[in-house]
Amino acid sequence: MKGTLSSVVIKQEWDIVGARQAGRQVSQDLGFGSVDQARIATAISELARNIYLYTEEGEITFEQVRDIPKVGLKIIAQDQGPGIKDLSAVMKDGYSTSGGLGAGLPGVKRLMDHFDLESDENGTKVTAIKWAR
């Protein structure tokens, strides 16, 4: 079973909070504990902030995933921005944090159980899954 639970358009900084809010709601519904909720919210913040900072507009979509007996939350962050040129550089520890920009994409990867990144000149798509315990 699989289905879109909700999605949030990211255009302004304020939308980051909206995405967190939506993500927290669905993770509560899926039965995530308080620490995992906080982790998911932080991951959403990172993804949404990347869209807000580097592109005109993007969207964060939440889906429920099931891998019997596990239930999980899939977050998809997609934009039509300029794309990331050097993928391995942004996935390297210390790349964004050293400038104080935040946890960066390696942080998102750590916060979640599964992480995937695709990017070309037409945009970037990040997919991340967290399984409920």
111 touches another protein (CB under 8 A): yes
Between 81 and 112, whose beta carbon lies closer to another protein?
A: 112
Give the burial class of 4: count Cβ atoms within 10 A of its Cβ; 0-12 exposed, 13-18 middle, 19 or more buried: exposed
Give the gyration radius of the chain's Cα atoms: 14
CB 123, min distance to another protein, A: 26
Q: How far, CA to CA in Å, does 114 sit from each of 3, 13, 21, 98, 99?
A: 18, 26, 21, 24, 26
Between 3 and 98, whose beta carbon lies closer to another protein?
A: 98
CB 130, min distance to another protein, A: 13
b/e map 50-59, b = 16+ CB within 10 Å: bbbeebeebb
CB 126, min distance to another protein, A: 16
Residue type, 62: F
When binding is defined by CB under 8 A, the residue of 106, 115, 119, 124 that contacts another protein is 106
110 touches another protein (CB under 8 A): yes
Q: How many CB atoms neighbour CB 26 within 10 A?
A: 17
* Residue ranges in 49-88 that form contacts with another protein under rule CB under 8 A: none
CB 77 within 8 A of CB 48: yes
5 touches another protein (CB under 8 A): no
Between 94 and 99, whose beta carbon lies closer to another protein?
A: 94
34 touches another protein (CB under 8 A): yes
CB 82, min distance to another protein, A: 26
